[in-house]
Amino acid sequence: MVFNSLAFLVFFSLVLVMHAMPFAWRTRKINLLIASYLFYMAWNPPFVILLWISTVVDWFAAQKLVHAERLAVRRAWMLLSVVANLGMLSYFKYGHFLMENFSDIVSVYGVHYVPPKWDIVLPVGISFYTFATLSYTLDIYHKRALPARKFLDYALFVTFFPHLVAGPIMRPTELVPQFEHAHRASRRQLQFGLVLVLVGMFQKVVLADTFLSKAAEAVYNAGQATGALDAWMGTLAFSGQIFCDFAGYSTIAIGVAMCLGFAMPDNFRFPYAAVGFSDFWRRWHITLSSWLRDYLYIPLGGSRHGPARTYAALMGTMLLGGLWHGAGWTFVVWGGLHGTYLAVERVLRCRFAGYRPGPLMLFALGMLTWMLVNVTWVFFRARTFGKAWDVLTGMFGAHGGADPILSTMLVTTTLLIVTGIVAAHWWMRTRTLESVLLRVPVIPLSLGMGLMAFLIVIAQGEGSAFIYFQF
């Protein structure tokens, strides 16, 4: 069940009605828990067992380690949680990848090994809820948080359907306290939540699926050499598509939670107006970047043990972050490029520590950041290194005689929409969506929302899944 489907519209309406009933708070939480399980089971019912395993293992591990007096015992319970969660993630997401690479390695030594056919389906959202549950036991182990007082609250945190399959990656300290007390959306929350849902749907259905996906798919699925114009337009289209797709999902998720009276953190803050790559990762997929910082970069040493250790921790974090996105070497290269960008930026910041760019230079640096981010998107989108190399070399003029792939209409549409997205990000760079909407008069705001709803309806989307569902 995807957000941009009629099934979800009916499901969400029923959840809202049930949540508004004058039941006891415990009953309403049970209703939300059941609804969340039904939401997840709509994809593949047996995979709900993985949710149960993760929930039960982490709950009992946290209860045991918080009462254990010996460090070795506490560490054992923490490792049980880590091994159980990462074990399931590794098996389902990386099993085939590891078998293929093992086969390639042993073939170098003359051993012919054919891995068995891999028919295991990747459980939707496993990367997201694995990170969410891991943060629970890790925070308790490091004494940064206390365990949830009620199993129901923790189970609801794990399965809460707005964030379950594609984030934002929630921390227990952000949601569990909200489940301890009765929540029902105020009129203002309900209104703003519905506006967020509408904005997110517009990003996904109209911009990402209807306008931008066609150019990206035409270029990256083409079986011919890619010219400069096509390579750039296809990559820029994907750049806009993945933002509108994923930011659209996060916006819908936050809006849905708000309609139920719960708050979830921002996951995107207009990243295509970032100046520098540390700024980019403070704006793009914020909950993942903060998770990687707190549970990977800092434990690897962070910036506390000299430059060499810092750069190693930075690169290791980004390489693993790339692999988190997908079981493929193209994703590792994508992460490695971002790690390289961040390392070079760190060197330059130390070299020019006292430099304060003016408005024009700030914009120029922002455009350079955006263009270099687009280079990394080539590896994120391409299925093979061959295709990535074809598009990259095409972007820099290697295929001057290549036949055109995109029509003039697709090129024009892509250029207009992507320019509009980047311009909107720069205008909103230091603003929030809520602050802007509060200043818009009621009539223009209503007309704008009505136009968005009309475009969503006439786009006649097929309820296609969000890109990040595959991760």
Q: Which residues contact 328 (CB under 8 A, 6 or more apart)?
A: 97
Identify the pLDDT of residue 161: 96
Identify the pLDDT of residue 28: 97
Q: Which of 197-206, 432-441, 455-464 has the least mean pLDDT?
A: 455-464
What are the backbone angles phi and psi of residue 171, rounded to the nearest 5°? Answer: -100, 150
In this structure, are 213 and 173 located in the same domain? no
Asked if the peptide bond before residue 168 counts as cis, ω within 30 degrees of 0, the response is yes
Identify the pLDDT of residue 379: 97
Identify the pLDDT of residue 175: 95
In this structure, are 111 and 253 located in the same domain? no
Q: Report the pLDDT averaged over residues 448-462.
A: 85
Amino acid, res. 192: F
Identify whether 1 is part of a domain.
Answer: no
Q: Is the predicted pLDDT of residue 227 greater than 60, yes or no? A: yes
Q: Is the predicted pLDDT of residue 471 greater than 70, yes or no? A: no
Q: Which of 17-26, 41-50, 301-310, 424-433 has the least mean pLDDT?
A: 301-310
Q: Is the predicted pLDDT of residue 457 greater than 60, yes or no? A: yes
Identify the pLDDT of residue 4: 85
Identify the pLDDT of residue 420: 97
**Residues acting as catalytic residues:** 325
> Are 284 and 267 within 8 A, CB to CB?
no
- Rounded to two decimals, the pTM is 0.94
Identify whether 393 is part of a domain.
Answer: yes
Identify whether 187 is part of a domain.
Answer: no
Tokens 């509009």 belong to which residue? 420
Among residues 148, 182, 216, which one ends one of the domains?
A: 182
Q: Which of 43-52, 65-74, 109-118 has the least mean pLDDT?
A: 109-118
Among residues 151, 182, 213, which one ends one of the domains?
A: 182
Identify the pLDDT of residue 113: 79
Among 222, 247, 223, smallest CA distance to 233 is for 222
In this structure, are 235 and 375 located in the same domain? yes
In this structure, are 39 and 86 located in the same domain? yes
> Are 312 and 296 within 8 A, CB to CB?
no
- CA torsion angle for 13, 19, 21, 22 (degrees, to 10)? -170
Q: Is the predicted pLDDT of residue 460 greater than 70, yes or no? A: no
Q: Which residues span the domain enclosing 93? A: 6-182
Whole-angstrom CA distances from 62 to 11, 57, 68, 142, 385 are 33, 8, 10, 11, 43
Note the pLDDT tens digit of each residue in 300-355: 988 888 889 999 999 999 999 999 998 899 999 999 999 999 999 999 998 888 88
Q: Is the predicted pLDDT of residue 238 greater than 80, yes or no? A: yes
Identify the pLDDT of residue 462: 52
Q: Which of 90-104, 363-377, 418-432 has the least mean pLDDT?
A: 90-104
In this structure, are 178 and 209 located in the same domain? no
Q: Report the pLDDT averaged over residues 54-73.
A: 92
* Residue 136, helix vs strand vs coil: helix
In this structure, are 151 and 236 located in the same domain? no
In this structure, are 248 and 164 located in the same domain? no
> Are 41 and 116 within 8 A, CB to CB?
no
In this structure, are 73 and 124 located in the same domain? yes
Identify whether 360 is part of a domain.
Answer: yes
Q: What mean pLDDT is reported for the chain? A: 93
Count how many domains the chain has. 2
Enumerate helices (H) and strands (E) in the chain, giving the number of each.
21, 0
Q: Which of 63-77, 109-123, 382-396 has the least mean pLDDT?
A: 109-123
Identify whether 191 is part of a domain.
Answer: no
Q: Report the pLDDT averaged over residues 92-112.
A: 87
Longest CA span, the chain = 73
Among residues 116, 151, 182, which one ends one of the domains?
A: 182
In which band, very low, low, confident or very high, does the pLDDT at 463 lie, cut at 50, 70 and 90?
low
Identify whether 422 is part of a domain.
Answer: yes
In which band, very low, low, confident or very high, does the pLDDT at 464 lie, cut at 50, 70 and 90?
low
Identify whether 77 is part of a domain.
Answer: yes
In this structure, are 152 and 300 located in the same domain? no
Identify the pLDDT of residue 190: 95
Note the pLDDT tens digit of each residue in 244-291: 999 999 999 999 999 999 999 999 999 999 999 999 999 999 999 999
Note the pLDDT tens digit of each residue in 139-153: 999 999 989 999 999
In this structure, are 335 and 447 located in the same domain? yes
Identify whether 190 is part of a domain.
Answer: no
* Residue 146, helix vs strand vs coil: coil
In this structure, are 270 and 167 located in the same domain? no
Q: Is the predicted pLDDT of residue 35 greater than 70, yes or no? A: yes
Among 143, 142, 148, smallest CA distance to 172 is for 148
Identify the pLDDT of residue 61: 94
In this structure, are 119 and 24 located in the same domain? yes
